[in-house]
Amino acid sequence: MSSVTLNNIVKRFGNFTAVHQSSLEIPEGAFITLLGPSGCGKTTNLRMIAGLLDPSEGEILIGGKRVNDVPIHKRNLGLVFQNYALFPHKTVAENVAFGLKYRDVPTEEIPKRVQDALDLVQLPNVGDRYPKELSGGQQQRIALARAIVIEPDVLLLDEPLSALDANLREDMRVELKRIQERIGVTTVFVTHDQSEALAMSDQIVVMSEGRVEQVGAPEEVYNTPASEFVANFLGASNILESRCTGTGDGVAIDAPIFGQMTIPAEKAPRITGEGPAKLVVRAEKLQLSDQPAPDGSVSVPATVETVDYQGQAVRYFVRAGDTQLQAINMIDGHPFAEGAEVHLHLRPQDCAALPG
């Protein structure tokens, strides 16, 4: 295991700056996800860690040692890409053993190392088969086995689940996290899928347009977004132009539709005084009901405009006054119908706030 450090990394392609002053500390054994939309710089960062790209400025350290000038084959990294990159003319065992042959591993030790890796990914009996004989999920596991068999200092994963169908992706993300925890290798995972990031990560690095927007544990990034971009990209949010009217034990917010409310100070760490603010209401925190609000909740009348039925949950688009909001509610039975008159319930402690 090794830590990874990025110090003020910049990457330019001609006149275009793909990464702006990126700094990051990845502890030994951690599972860190670089999350963001296409073109945000997450894969560029990963490729610089790998040695596939050279940074224009800054330095990269692995295990405390500067590696800017160290070629990829000397960095002892395991890499898994979106397309798996398995050799079609080699057997599974030969694919997994490929990296060992270039690391002075004794020939007699290779079969055991390969078998141990196949056991770890729960494919112990496919060594004599060829990649084309395996399913997509099995090929993904073989690519992972090939990456970990060399006992890398750092494991780099560039959207390795994106080629799988939805159900298999969910199964494989659980399996991938299980394997990472078992071997304890420092892992950098790149994805644009927020559910993968939330489910698998020790920390999430949210990126936008080449810049790091926020770094934190999944629950921190989700519940206390540092910017409007993070609030919108990670989950579904309602963001209302509001005003902070005071700070103290909590942050007093005067919001459209919901009026005056006080939210916990830890949910608005960047608000330091009175002035414009933005109230962040996660869609799943906004509850529809045909009953008045329970104690401690704010309630406003609304009309259901659109119903997006999703099985166990439903996403509603509702209108309260002149404002359209979205709410995601678990349901037991039938959802509210379009045109239904409802009450919107919201607990102030479930909100967050940003400077306006």
Q: What share of the chain is helix, strand, coil (3-state, %, to 5)?
A: 30, 35, 35
Strand partners, 208: 211
Convert the pLDDT of each residue in 127-181 to its tens digit: 999 999 999 889 989 999 999 999 999 999 999 888 788 888 888 888 899 999 9
- Please, what are the domains in the chain? 4-223 (3.40.50.300), 236-355 (2.40.50.140)
Sheet holding 259-264, edge to edge: 259-264, 250-255, 237-247, 275-282, 352-355
Convert the pLDDT of each residue in 197-209 to its tens digit: 999 999 999 999 9
- The position carrying tokens 């991938």 is 176
Q: What is the pTM of this model?
A: 0.91
Question: Taking Cα atoms as reference points, which of 264, 318, 308 lies closest to residue 288?
Answer: 318
Which tokens sit at 152? 């890398």
pLDDT recorded at residue 1: 61
Judge whether 293 and 345 are in contact, CB under 8 Å. Answer: yes
Convert the pLDDT of each residue in 213-268 to its tens digit: 999 999 999 999 999 999 999 989 999 999 999 988 899 999 989 999 999 999 99
Q: What is the mean pLDDT of the chain?
A: 93
DSSP string, 32-50: EEEE-STTSSHHHHHHHHH
Q: Give Dmax (Cα) for the chain.
A: 75
- State how far the Cα of 205 lies from the Cα of 195, in Å rounded to an integer: 14
- The position carrying tokens 């700056």 is 17
